[in-house]
Amino acid sequence: MATERSNEPIGVFDSGIGGLTVVAALQRLLPSENIFYLGDTARVPYGGKSRRTVERYSIEIGGLLLAERAKVIVVACNTASALAVPRMKEIFKVPVQGVVTPGAQAAAKSTLIGKVGVVGTRATISSGAYEHAINSINPGIQVLSAACPLLVPLIEEGMFDDDVTKIMLSRYLGPMLKAGIDTLVLGCTHYPLLRNTIAEVAGPHVTLVDSAENCALAVKRLLADAGIAASPRRLGGLNVALTDATEGFLRSAAQALELEIGDVALRSVQSEEGNPA
């Protein structure tokens, strides 16, 4: 019964810690929901890996979330959303929600002149997932994309407002800003941590679309439609697990996002050789 599942957690995963931006958005929008977050820190990043490998990793992590009785799986990773969500929807019996479609819908609604920029990892950009999703909504929208491989390392070093970060952003965003975009999709869940700096570089005439925020809105609709939303009378909680004991960036990200994270659990995954990592 759907009502029996209402108190079970929303399962959220990312290749690392960046998906905590989705967790923060979910907590703001759905404070009564329990959330179980799993960061695959043993195999981060997914951004440079093949579709087959990303699918395999995502299915393995999804299985771990189901072991935690997740009532829905939220793929808080743009790379996994672009490459693995279709296969996950075929395999898993619970609903699977990625970040690409909600971000694309928000971008298509936001643009006034039909020019949208997308920034993300190499894998997300090369997949063309956002371009396809945006153009499936409105074929007349011009989508300009840029892979930004150096942004995640800068973010994980805590260089949110550093001059080096601003220089790299100016280089990555320059061509699409020159082309006259009026909307920019933050196509990596790390990027909302740079929101203020990105807004400064992009300028006041460019609207930023946060895929994390729009993913949370999609999850809210999904839970309501399925009849498995938690009672609004209770206060939800957050549990965090990682596949490798690396908590440095976890704590700084949690502080930046104003998340309360207690003890962090460890979960085992398979290594490339088939042995537990």
- Which sequence positions are flagged as catalytic? 77, 188
Distance, in Å, from the CA atom of 89 to the CA atom of 84, rounded to the nearest integer, reads 9
Strand partners, 12: 37, 74
Which H or E element spans position 126? helix 122-127
Q: Which of 99, 178, 110 is nearest to 141 (CA)?
A: 110
Query: In the structure encoding, which two tokens stand for residue 181, read together?
Result: 């975009």
* CB proximity list for 242: less than 8 A, separation 6 or greater: 38, 39, 40, 41, 42, 250, 264, 265, 266, 267
Phi then psi for 96, rounded to 5 degrees?
A: -120, 125
Contact 142, 134 (CB under 8 A): no
